[in-house]
Amino acid sequence: MKPNYYYISHLQGNSGICKYSRDFYQLIMKDRGYIFMDSAQDIIHILSTISSRDHVHIELGIFQQKEQEILFTMLRANYRNVSVTLHDPPLLKYPQRPFRHPFLHNVSKFYDVYVNRFRWEKPFLQKIRAIYVLSRRGSEVLKKKYGLGNVHYLPHVIDPAQMVRGRTADNNFIFFGFVGRNKGIGYSLKLHTHLMERFPDSHFYVVGKAMGKEQRYFEALRRRYQRQVHYLGYVADEDLQDIFRQAGFALLLFSDYRFFHPFSGSLLQSMKMGKIVLTNRVNAVEEVIEEGKNGFFLSGNLKKDVALIGDLIGKRSLQDTMRKEIYHYLLEHHSPEKVAQSLKTEPYALFNPDRQLQ
């Protein structure tokens, strides 16, 4: 009996991994013969359906608890044909032992980082057939930390049919993604307030929700910054294009994470919508943004950043050139065809060296 091929994730949520999974499955894995298996199902049902001979691909992030449980259970049961896309490299799980009590939870994180130094992960990582990482930086960190030979860079996929071209409102801005201090939303709102002194008709559209303890912080920002700022909360995918059409620039600023190296899906989503990205040099951002060609890096100096953006708003020809560059960059580096080339094996011959793609 030939083995089956299963793709395990959850497609119905609003997280970046859920949105990525919808595109990756529809654009890549479905045509390659993979059967979708919803990770929200009971784990007993999943394990009784998928045998140890079958081939499995799991989308894994540090907050994907059900996917983590499925992966660890399969590896302990000696499933040999498991591959993963690791969204928060080099972390499989953080912390290894979570607790409901905040103090104990933080102690567990401290132990992972400073005492164990994530050494508990290596035996599991070695058992995974192929580990895909969405940034070159994350891939190199994972290889260097654990000396692994099963790690591969996989470009983040975008749907070319959803790409937008053409000029939009050139002095308006958009923020897209989960809202929090680690996403630079406070500085972005401050920037917009100062830009309105020169461009009084400028609007700022904030798309996304704050979660957990970030809600109080976000509410304080909403009370402080109200003039021509539109707090839209979560926006369904089918309505996003209309919102993005209102802005010419995406303000996406990030914290530099210390222990893991995620790739920003909101960065590519904004570029897909034809936005010129204004961001900062952290994490894997420099793998995507080339200064003055498809985006700009802000310095964190308010005076300098206001001057840079103000100068850019006045250069319509440069904006048009950059939007063309964004369109061609995405097709060249993140199209389904390009991403498929980075998968190391064909689905029907997965892990069969005689049938690997060249």
Given this model, what pLDDT does residue 354 score?
37
Q: Look up tokens 């890096």; give the residue.
A: 297
Residue 307: partners with Cβ closer than 8 Å, 6 or more residues away: none
Give me the CATH code for the 5-157+336-355 domain, please. 3.40.50.2000
Structural contact between residues 56 and 6, judged by C-beta atoms closer than 8 angstroms? yes
Which residue type occupies 86? L
Average pLDDT, the chain: 90
* Residue pLDDT, tens place only, 269-289: 999 999 999 999 998 999 999
Q: Which two tokens stand for residue 250?
A: 């995406």
The residue among 210, 167, 173, 168 whose CA lies nearest residue 298 is 173
Lowest mean pLDDT among 26-35, 71-80, 94-103, 292-301: 94-103
- Give the model's pLDDT for residue 120: 86
Coil/strand/helix, residue 14? coil
Tell me, yes or no, if the two domains 5-157+336-355 and 160-334 fold the same way: yes
Taking residues 147-174, what's their average pLDDT? 89
For the segment 86-92, the average pLDDT, to the nearest whole number, is 91
Handedness of CA 293, 297, 298, 299 (dihedral sign): negative
Of 147, 148, 178, give the one whose Cα is nearest residue 61.
Answer: 178
Task: Say how far apart CA 358 and CA 353 lie, in whole Å.
Answer: 11
Domain ranges of the chain: 5-157+336-355, 160-334
Which of 339, 278, 11, 310 lies closest to 155 in space, CA to CA? 339
Find, among 249, 246, 257, 318, the residue nearest to 285 by Cα. Answer: 257
| Residue 240 region by backbone torsions, left for phi larger than 0, else alpha for psi between -120 and 50, else beta | alpha
pLDDT on residue 106: 87
For position 345, what pLDDT does the model report?
Answer: 60
Q: Give the architecture (CATH level 2) of 160-334.
A: 3-Layer(aba) Sandwich (3.40)
Q: How many whole angstroms separate alpha carbon 224 and alpha carbon 148?
A: 48
Tell me the HSE value of 108 on the side-chain side, using a 13 A CA sphere.
Answer: 14
The answer on pLDDT for 353 being more than 60 is: no
Of 120 and 325, the structure prediction assigns the larger pLDDT to 325
Tokens coding 269: 């989503």
